[in-house]
Each structure stands twice: as C-alpha cells, then as structure tokens.
C-alpha cells in the first residue's frame, strides 16, 4: 500500500507541473485580430479617450461609456508599462458578425492591471464594445502559481483527499492485475479507474464546488487554463471500493459467487 500511495502522489504532482504559459497563449490567440485590440489599449494608456470614443459601437453610445473610460485611464499609472501580455482571448462568430475579447496584463513599477478590450467586426469594420480594467496585487502568474503557502483547510483537505483517492485506485488496480484467472481484471479496470461525483476547490481562492451527478476518470484531477487558477478535484473511488470489498469477501468467505460464475463461464469457453 505504501508503494502504491507513493506512486499516486508522484503521479498527481506531475499533473501540477505547468508549462510556458506565454508560449501557449500565443498558440491560442487569434493573432491577426489582436493588433486591433492592442491599438485601443495603447490609446487608453496614453489617455486618448477621444479617439476610442469615435470608434465605439453605436449600440453602446447611448450608455455614455466616456466617463467609465476616463476613470479607467486616470486609474492607470502615468508611465509606460514595462510589460504587456495577452492573458486571455475569446472569439465568437454569428450571422456575419465577429466578436473578439482580449484581456491584457499590464505591468508597471510594482503594479499590475488587467485590461479587457471587447471588439466587434461587422461589414468589415471594427468597433469597440467596451474596455474595462482592474488592479491586481501581483501578476496572474504569481497569484495563480501552485504553492502550499497561505492555503486554508479546504485546499489541504481536498488535495489530501485527491491523493488518497488516487492511491486507493492504483492499489486496487495493482491487486486487479494480480488476478491471473479468467477475464476478471479487464472487467474491473474501467470501474476501478472511475469515480462518482466530484468535490473540487479553487486552489487560489479556496472557493468550493460540488457535483453530485458526475462520473470522473480518473477519480482525482488537477486542471488549469492559461493564467488561471488550479482546480483540484476528487471523486469517490466507488469502483475501487467495490473491487476491494469483493477481494475481502474472497479472503474471508472464499471465492465470490460473481467471480465463481465468471470463472465457470470462462472455463466452459476454453473447453469449447
């Protein structure tokens, strides 16, 4: 069991190894449209609200967004950012209309801001649907980095449960493959790997999520999107528990009826 637990822990930690997020983002961003959004970001950074207002989409002009743009421009530091990178991008196409949402992380001297630029293209003309921003306490990369520092009970409990659940599945799988007779191992494998329901936690914020009606394979997960928080999830390893209960019944009561029936059928096929 100790060896299986160690293997599960190592495997789960491997899932937490990140990649070059900036390089990955470049592959996902629709590069041909990104310069349009960056142009409006640059206008905002220099406080040129008038030029942005000229290109506002007619559907939002009546909402008087100028004051909101002015407040955002005043909130940004009066300096050239040391780094500007795309940390989010979405594309929508419908009825001849293209929409693009780009989110930028702007790094200033000991300051970080998120600025989102929403665009629309109709009749081959780009217009601005909105520009919004807010200040960050640190870069997204650091805020959402996987670390054990400063985490609460919910994060530690979920992570420990995920590792234990995965270890139990690996242990049951190891016992399953030690069963040499008949087709029993291959019947059990899909059930051992699956989990029922899911309890998950946002590793950055500690926010909890619960899905009762869900089947997950494997029974533990660690997922993240580019520049987004890690989500640690754990499911009840029902298949592994059922298999271990069956093995326990064999040890205590002798060969189980189900396995006995399967073995008889297997022997019958071999005789034919």
Q: How far is CA 104 from the centre of its chain?
A: 19
Tokens (6 digits) for 265: 């059928």
* Chain region(s) in the chain for CATH 3.10.450.50: 21-143
**pLDDT digits over 20-30, tens only?**
555 555 555 55
Q: How confident is the model at residue 270 (pLDDT cuts 50, 70, 90)?
A: low
**pTM of the shown model:** 0.68
- Which one has a higher pLDDT value, 56 or 263? 56
Q: How much is the average pLDDT of 244-249?
A: 81
The second-level CATH assignment, the architecture, of 21-143 is: Roll (3.10)
**pLDDT digits over 131-190, tens only?**
999 999 999 989 999 999 989 999 999 999 999 999 999 998 888 887 655 556 677 788
pLDDT of 13 strictly over 80: no
Locate tokens 């093995």: which residue? 247
Q: How many CB atoms lie within 10 A of CB 240?
A: 27
Phi, psi for 42 (deg, rounded to 5): -65, -35
pLDDT at 4: 44
Q: How confident is the model at residue 82 (pLDDT cuts 50, 70, 90)?
A: very high
Q: How much is the average pLDDT of 181-200?
A: 79
pLDDT of 9 strictly over 80: no
């Amino acid at each position: 069991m100790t060896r299986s637990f160690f293997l599960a822990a190592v495997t789960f930690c491997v899932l937490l190894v990140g990649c070059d997020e900036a390089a990955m983002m470049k592959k996902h961003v629709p590069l041909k449209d990104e310069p349009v959004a960056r142009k409006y970001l640059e206008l905002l950074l220099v406080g040129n609200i008038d030029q942005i207002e000229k290109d506002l989409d007619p559907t939002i002009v009546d909402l008087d967004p100028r004051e909101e743009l002015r407040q955002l421009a005043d909130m940004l530091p009066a300096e050239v950012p040391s780094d500007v990178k795309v940390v989010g991008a979405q594309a929508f196409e419908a009825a001849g209309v293209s929409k693009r949402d780009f989110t930028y992380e702007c790094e200033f001297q000991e300051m970080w801001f998120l600025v989102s630029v929403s665009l629309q293209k109709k009749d081959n003309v780009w217009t601005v649907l909105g520009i919004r921003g807010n200040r960050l306490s640190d870069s997204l990369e650091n805020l959402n980095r996987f670390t054990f520092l400063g985490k609460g009970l919910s994060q530690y409990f979920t992570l420990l449960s995920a590792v234990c659940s995965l270890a139990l599945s690996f242990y049951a799988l190891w016992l399953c493959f030690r069963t040499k007779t008949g087709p029993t191992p291959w019947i059990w494998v899909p059930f051992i790997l699956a989990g029922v329901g899911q309890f998950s936690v946002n590793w950055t914020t500690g926010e909890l999520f619960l899905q009762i009606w869900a089947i997950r394979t494997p029974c533990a997960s660690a997922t993240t999107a580019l520049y987004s928080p890690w989500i640690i999830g754990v499911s009840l390893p029902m298949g592994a528990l059922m298999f271990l209960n069956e093995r326990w019944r064999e040890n205590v009561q002798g060969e189980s009826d189900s396995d006995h029936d399967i073995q008889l059928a297997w022997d019958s096929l071999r005789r034919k």
